[in-house]
Structure 1
Amino acid sequence: MKVKLYMATKSAKQQASIIGLLFAIVCFMSCQRSSNNLGVTENMEKDKTDVAEKIVLTDEEWKRRLTPEQYRILRQKGTERAFTNEMKHLGKGSFVCAGCESELFVSDTKYDSGCGWPSFYDTVDKNNITQELDSSFSMKRIEVLCSRCGGHLGHIFNDGPQPTGLRYCINGGAIKFQKDDEDNK
């Protein structure tokens, strides 16, 4: 009797592991759904930012400045799990880089894409974002980086809403929300 119970438990654990793995793959692929469409922007060269504005720190300085999760995302190009950030219904304001507070997006361009990560259809200023080709995981995608500190933000896809048709798929841990002054009253 114990042998059958052990086998049933082991089988249930295996099934749960397989279901969890499939869920992770589906979540990961949801942010990749248009990765074969690389014509995201006309200009793939790095944006030109005044070198004096750039922030260059050592790994130790970044580790002291950022939380472990922010460091993993921004400095090691990590990705948070889908649907785990708390970037919903924040009101009017700006989204800034968690590493250097460069203004990246505004709440008016944020929308729910269903992919599990904060999504925006436009940036505050194209010069605040750098785009690079990302060929990791045997996929071709466009990586989005903060132009000021070089932090990894996420990826950009061309399946977003009008007027741009773009979806900036951004890690919630890579950005911070700053409420507009009139919302603070």
Structure 2
Amino acid sequence: MDKINLQKQTCYKINLPSENDLDKALEECANFSMFNSVSNIIDSFSFDSEKYDNLHLCKYVEKYNLDKSLIFFYTSMKNLPISKLSVKQKIILSVIKNIQYDCIIISLEALSERTKLYLIFISYFLTDYKGFKTFIFLDFSTLKITYEKIEVKILEPSWLEKPALAAL
């Protein structure tokens, strides 16, 4: 199989066989040369050992232009015992903690379908942050390596009024 030429500011889902060595499989199937930095794999099994560090927060605000609602979420949740956080909260904290990387790799293993969709939706919006983030989601539901770009369709309610353009 030819290597996947990853593009910046994109979300990908890569299906990998579970019996393969994960790092080796990723190295063989994807070309990461476009990125200055690639995160470690964020997965639900590592959440219990995560520690969220407030010292990085000011750096994130200035350098990565994080949205204030994410900053508020981070500061309000980071000191809670990890056992008190939902999986979604842990994922968001982990993504924010890794936002300094150009390419963020997240395992979908052991996540519910609803949590997977939520995570992909949030990541889609984060692709536009400073430095143009790329997200790679790893799925282990196949016997051969495949990949796809993820596009998120955003529907606007039909009842929203749009301002009329002024006549020239």
TM-score, normalised with respect to structure 2? 0.29
Whose RCO is larger (CA < 8 A, sep 6+)? Answer: 2
More helix by share: 2
Q: Larger Rg: 1 or 2?
A: 1
TM-score, normalised with respect to structure 1? 0.28
